[in-house]
Amino acid sequence: MRAVAETYLDAASTTPLHPRARAALVDALDGFGDPSRLYGRARRARLLLDRSREQLAAAVGAAPDELVFTSGGTEAANLAVTGLARAARRRRHLVVSAVEHTSVLAPARALTGQGFEVTEVGVDHTGRVDPAELAAAVRDDTLLVCLQHANHEVGTIQPVPEAAALAHEHGALLLVDACQTVGRLPVDVADLGADLLVASGHKVYGPPGTGFLVASRRARLRPVLVGDERERRRRAGMENLPGIAAMAAAVAARVAEAPAEHDRMAGLAGRLLDGLAAIPEVVVHGDPGQGLPHLVAFSILYIEGEALLLLLDAKGIAVHSGSSCTADTQEPSHVLAAMGAITHGSVRVSFLHDATDADVDHLVEVLPAAVADLREMAELDAQAIERESR
Amino acid sequence: MTTAATTVDCLGLACPIPVVRLARAVASVEVGGLVELLADDPGARVDIPVWCRLKDQQLVAQLDRPEGGWVFQVRRSH
């Protein structure tokens, strides 16, 4: 059975619950208990928490005591950046790639008002950081280098091991945001050279409100949330045990399942790219064939991305647009801007594990007419404005 | 050769309209002709230079307007 009825092509935003995650979630909700207490129910909760921690640690090649459970990827990234800075003694410099998720960029930028300096490193037209530019940015007083494993908007995979070598050469730590890759591509903290790693539950068929940070023993953290001694004093607050158990089940299942889906995902992406070739003036973003296998990002010139999303939604198709022309912020995607890519008319398509050729075909059937309509509207708008201004 | 520029005022207009109007204006001038686009949408600041590169049109200058926004001078190169 398919997880969702509509043509859901936004797996990079969030995913449905894996059946094993659902089972683990319900079991843990029914077997409620505070893992920090001492009676039988509490000890059973502690056992489940420990087992989930071991399962997740094993999935990313970490030691169980390096994991800190959080409310999601955003909190994990905030804890990593802010917590590390609060514990820092002499090092007062951070390096971030320009295409990091805002949950990394925002806490890093917030530190600039607190005596820290932040260097943003640019990317090439595929969205990939240039290791030479990164090398030039890392200094002897660099505390932390932040480089995502794969980009959330365009799917480009970053040269993380190279970044780790550069960071470590200068005694700095490396933070890797792996929210888009855990349970999709092999993720191993030792292979990546990550001292800190961020993961999210709901992007890997776990429940929303779950995530974790891996913080190696080298990474001294001050907690951001304080109030008790849970999570080895790195994150206060009752653990979301049902969510954590479900996330562990989801990640374990997806790590086992994902490799066999790789070629099919690449086939779907190729099928979509073939379909897009029939639409004039489409620019494909990222590094197709080399990036995340389930993600295709592109811009359709002369149309508004959000207007297209609404037309597609009316046809039962869910995709994401990186642009936010009609949103309150009016800011173009910082990722596409850093790549020197067209930001208007941007579309991100990302496939669930059970996506089919029929899903791609549905989009490819609907897209040309929707694009033609929107282009005609934009043309008429432009003509009307020009008549008025005469 | 200096020719009078065709001015396109896109102040207050959000993407993709500035790009659509620039494309129209560039197509309407002679090769070598100059289009001057005024825009204040943050998307235009990124997209106008990228469009020029994609379409192999010459972005002669991009200037900040004291009142806010930018002036893009684009020469039709083919």
Which tens digit of pLDDT belongs to each residue from A211-263?
Answer: 999 999 999 999 999 999 999 999 999 999 999 999 999 999 999 999 999 99
- Taking 50 as the threshold, does the pLDDT of residue A324 lie above it? no
A365 in helix, strand or coil?
A: helix
At A4 the pLDDT is: 73
What the block records as the tokens of A65 is 């005591």
Q: Do A283 and B54 touch (CB under 8 A)?
A: yes
Would you place residue B5 in the very low, low, confident or very high pLDDT band (cuts 50, 70, 90)? confident
At B3 the pLDDT is: 63
Q: Do B16 and A386 touch (CB under 8 A)?
A: no
Other C-beta atoms closer than 10 Å to the C-beta of A272 total 24
- CATH no. of B6-75: 3.30.110.40
- A345/A360 Cα distance (integer angstroms): 19
Contacts of B20 in chain A (CB under 8 A): 302, 378-379, 381-382
Cα-Cα-Cα-Cα torsion A67, A73, A76, A78, nearest 10 degrees, comes to: 170
Contact A208, A176 (CB under 8 A): no
More confident residue, A4 or A358: A358
The reply to whether A387 touches chain B by the CB within 8 Å rule is no
- A292/A113 Cα distance (integer angstroms): 35
Q: How far is B61 from chain A (nearest CA, A)?
A: 17
Q: Do B42 and A336 touch (CB under 8 A)?
A: no
A210 in helix, strand or coil?
A: coil
- A181/A197 Cα distance (integer angstroms): 11
Domains delineated in chain A: 19-253 (3.40.640.10), 259-389 (3.90.1150.10)
- Taking 60 as the threshold, does the pLDDT of residue A325 lie above it? no
For A335, the closest chain B residue by CA position comes to B46
Q: Do B46 and A386 touch (CB under 8 A)?
A: no
At A184 the pLDDT is: 97
Pairing between β-strand A211-215 and β-strand A196-200 as defined by DSSP bridges: antiparallel
The predicted complex's ipTM stands at 0.94
Percent of chain A's residues with pLDDT above 90: 94
Pairing between β-strand A93-97 and β-strand A142-146 as defined by DSSP bridges: parallel
- A54/A56 Cα distance (integer angstroms): 6
CA A87 to chain centre: 26
